[in-house]
């Protein structure tokens, strides 16, 4: 088990630590089941990729590096509560503008977070050679969810 980090890996750790906010670490009813299952499959795929990267980073015995590994695993926390809750409410009542607007807002917020989070670029381009595709995989799934929600909204009007 290697304990030393390369210069590129140390730069990654420094970049990651500086990018993490202080608080980090701490269908049915007409809704396409493929859109929901595609989102879940994409999220599960990315979770597995992040675990693989985290496991590799954790091989170092440096305590700060272990904390980075923990944060990598929890990277998708911002997508674990509001988005699924909004999608469940939308799935229950896709005909209601309130549920539809909340679901679309949650998807839009998730897309905005994905597009502005420096950590996403860091893990996707990690120096360990671990394949991580957070931006592409989740971006594609969120685009599909947004299209599906809008399609249902247009069909209801």
Taking the C-alpha atoms of residue 22 and residue 79, their distance in angstroms, rounded to an integer, is 18
94 contacts 156 by C-beta, under 8 angstroms: yes
Question: Using 50, 70 and 90 to split pLDDT, how confident is the model at 139?
Answer: very high
Give the pLDDT band (50/70/90) at residue 93: confident
Given a cut of 70, is residue 71 above it in pLDDT? yes
CB 136 within 8 A of CB 147: no
Does residue 83 register a pLDDT over 50? yes
**Which residue do the tokens 């799935």 mark?**
91
Q: What is the pLDDT of residue 117?
A: 85
Nearest to 153 by CA among 74, 72, 99: 99
Calpha distance 102→37 (Å, rounded): 19
Task: Report pTM.
Answer: 0.77
**What is the arithmetic mean of pLDDT over 126-145?**
95
């Amino acid at each position: 088990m290697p304990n030393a980090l390369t210069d590129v890996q140390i730069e990654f750790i420094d970049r990651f630590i500086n990018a993490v906010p202080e608080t980090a670490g701490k269908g049915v009813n007409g809704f396409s089941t493929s859109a929901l299952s595609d989102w879940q499959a994409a999220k599960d795929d990315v979770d597995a990729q992040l675990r693989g990267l985290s496991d590799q980073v954790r091989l170092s015995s440096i305590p700060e590096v272990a904390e980075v590994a923990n944060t990598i695993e929890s990277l998708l926390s911002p997508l674990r509560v509001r988005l699924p809750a909004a999608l469940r409410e939308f799935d229950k009542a896709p005909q209601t503008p309130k549920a539809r607007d909340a679901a679309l807002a949650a998807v839009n917020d998730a897309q905005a977070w994905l597009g502005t989070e420096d950590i996403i670029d860091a893990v996707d381009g990690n120096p360990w050679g671990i394949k991580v595709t957070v931006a592409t995989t989740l971006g594609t799934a969120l685009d599909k969810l947004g299209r599906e929600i809008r399609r249902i909204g247009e069909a209801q009007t």
